[in-house]
Copies of this chain bind each other. A is one copy, B any other.
Amino acid sequence: MNLNDQPRPWQLARRAEAMNPSAIREILKVTERPGILNFAGGLPSPETFPVAAMHAACAAILGEGSSIAKPSLQYAASEGLPELREWVATEMGKQGATVSPDQVLITTGSQQGLDLIAKVLIDAGAPVMVETPTYLGALQAFTPMEPHIESVDSDGEGVLPEALRKQLAAMPERPRFMYLLPNFQNPTGRTMPEARREAVLAVCREFGLPVVEDNPYGELWFDQAPPRPLLARWPEGVIYLGSFSKILAPGLRLGYVIAPSALYPKLLQAKQAADLHTPGFNQRLVAEVIRDGFLDQHVPTIRTRYHAQRDAMVSALTRELGPTGATWTEPKGGMFIWVRLPEGLNAQALLPAAVDAGMAFVPGAPFYARDPDMRTLRLSFVTSTPEQIDRGMAALAQVIREALSR
């Protein structure tokens, strides 16, 4: 080693050179100006957090005479709390998927599930397929492992089976997996219908392309539950990600991965190296909250709330943006609506004017792995009242009209 190498002591790994500040994160900072009507966030409504139930659970865990206080504060198994793993397996059974608790790995939010999957399945340069557009956080989780990300043409029902087939047939190397968010997708709000699920999986099976199915929003349906998960249709070919963030509270960072038995040990080892285990206290807290069927009462209240907010936003969009030539999705659940601005406009370029007019959205570009549609933007409808939604959409329409008239 040559002494002249010094003095700069730190040398970044190649993957870190490629890491850049999250576009969304920088955008969200701008939108946090007080008083702004903020449709940019990806946060669930804090009004849905069951504070009293959590308080009671904390008291049950930590109160005098509790036998679980110290165990819930001690180091714990990397797999997760047995009660939670069993609960997940049972719930998946209700959705038609046969899952053993041994296949369930409790994670520090489902974001960590994406990180572990990337570590275990992605080599530098290996292809990974995603929807167009796709969840930005997944792109961020995969990127450090340096995949070659391929975006599959998609419509309002998800990826197009024939486009997928053509793309796969032309690829020199089998992709490591395809990442899909079938229910009320972030960012578009779209849902894969029954026929599309079958058609896409038929192509996946044909080519031996495994699927990572991410389902943070599936419980937040408005009129009817979405079709059966992909996991139920192809148990050995699907890794499934679930989360308590949208049905209880994201600040607990509690999610889970369901993996085929062949992969589970590798994910578990990656989990152990990543943070030893998900906080045992949080796992116990959630297990206490949900154990007597609490979610059967609680989740319908979230559905009702978000349903009314979606209705308000669709009405406001129809009234305000309809005349401008913009188009939008009408999601059947979840938290987001995806807007496409009239021809000639650019959502990113429009944002400063929108913020000046008192409202904020997220431009759609960062959600594209490549070739972004610059006319798109994402609106969250769950943290604003109908009245705020009305004012916000009116402000957005005004900004669009001004941009069109220039």
Binding site for B on A (CB under 8 A): 1, 3, 5-16, 19-22, 25, 42-44, 46, 49, 51-52, 54-55, 58-59, 62-63, 66, 69-76, 78, 107-109, 111-112, 115, 119-123, 126, 137, 140-141, 143-145, 168-174, 176-177, 206-210, 236-237, 245, 249-253, 260, 262-263, 265-266, 269-270, 272-282
A-B residue pairs in contact (CB < 8 Å), sample of 8: A1-B171, A1-B173, A13-B126, A14-B123, A16-B119, A44-B74, A108-B108, A137-B273
Contact status A251-B76, CB under 8 Å: yes
Q: Which of B25, B59, B111, B245 contacts A55 (CB 8 A)?
A: B59
4 interchain residue pairs of minimum CB distance:
A6-B208, A73-B249, A55-B62, A58-B58
New A-B pairs, 8, CB < 8 Å, besides A21-B265, A252-B279: A6-B207, A9-B210, A13-B176, A15-B123, A58-B58, A58-B62, A140-B272, A253-B280
Closest to A171 in B: B1
Contact status B269-A20, CB under 8 Å: yes
Point out the residues of chain B lying under 8 angstroms from A1, CB to CB: 168-174, 207
Contact status A15-B276, CB under 8 Å: no
Point out the residues of chain B lying under 8 angstroms from A126, CB to CB: 13
Please report the C-alpha to C-alpha distance between residue A330 and residue B88 in the assembled complex, in whole angstroms.
Answer: 47
Please report the C-alpha to C-alpha distance between residue A120 and residue B13 in the assembled complex, in whole angstroms.
Answer: 5
Most B CB contacts (10 A, CB to CB) among A19, A75, A252, A273 go to: A273
Distance in Å from the Cβ of A344 to the closest Cβ of chain B? Answer: 34
Contact status A43-B75, CB under 8 Å: yes
Contact status A272-B115, CB under 8 Å: no
Distance in Å from the Cβ of A371 to the closest Cβ of chain B? Answer: 22
Distance in Å from the Cβ of A146 to the closest Cβ of chain B? Answer: 10
Point out the residues of chain B lying under 8 angstroms from A69, CB to CB: 49, 51, 55
Closest to A9 in B: B210
Task: Given A6-B207, A8-B208, answer yes or no on A272-B25 (Cβ-Cβ < 8 Å).
Answer: yes
